[in-house]
Chains A and B, each alone.
Chain A
């Protein structure tokens, strides 16, 4: 039996590309995944820490706003890297995704494996739906998640579902 894998999709579906996390959760909900728990999160830091408490393996999906080329796919291992605090476009609120990860490290409460996946957004304006450039990068994002945790996403067998 597989150890459970928690997938947290972070973002706001009413701010276009910021809705990446919830969009991925919706998409994965359509597949019959075994051993995977799916959750949407706003990105508020203390709630994130509470959400992953007790989990050994966590995937976090969030839109990225780093100045990279829109559509660039990111994959970061939280235990190996310092997460830059301005990396995730959430808000200027003082305790969000990056701070929650660094805080969990300082407190020794980081899950054994926590992998962040993201796509550099093109449009964080008001409205629903992802921009074409982020939509076009979804297959690569899903492939990366699959490659990192192959046992959970065998169902895709190389076929990545469409958004």
Chain B
């Protein structure tokens, strides 16, 4: 059995580590099963990518297509808006984590608690620590890391991927059409 290392190898996980999403179908199934999903997009979604396209572009297209509510962390809000996605809320990652760990919280859009969060675009360590907080503080919440670096504290995580492979996997899983929403 092959062993997967965290995106930053020293950042080992705990006693349980994230299930690796090897195939687009797995991610697609997670999306399909989610009843109250939340997409969390951090500022590095604007940094990781190629010259023409970044992580945020694909996530925005998915959020638009499937009407997924979005929490914009860092200063990502205006960039999402420029891509046609109005964030349900701009909120710091720590603040969001604390709320997600509260079973009484009404959700980002006050439409009820979330059962699954999809997260990408935070700096590696910030996402790692946030996911650790959620793993212990929000046990019933399923967390899916969409970052192109394996996050062991998530429930499910993409493996360490190149931009090209990441783009390909996400495009297929989210059934995004090439070149636009």
Do A and B come together as binding partners?
A: no
B residues with CB within 8 A of A:
none
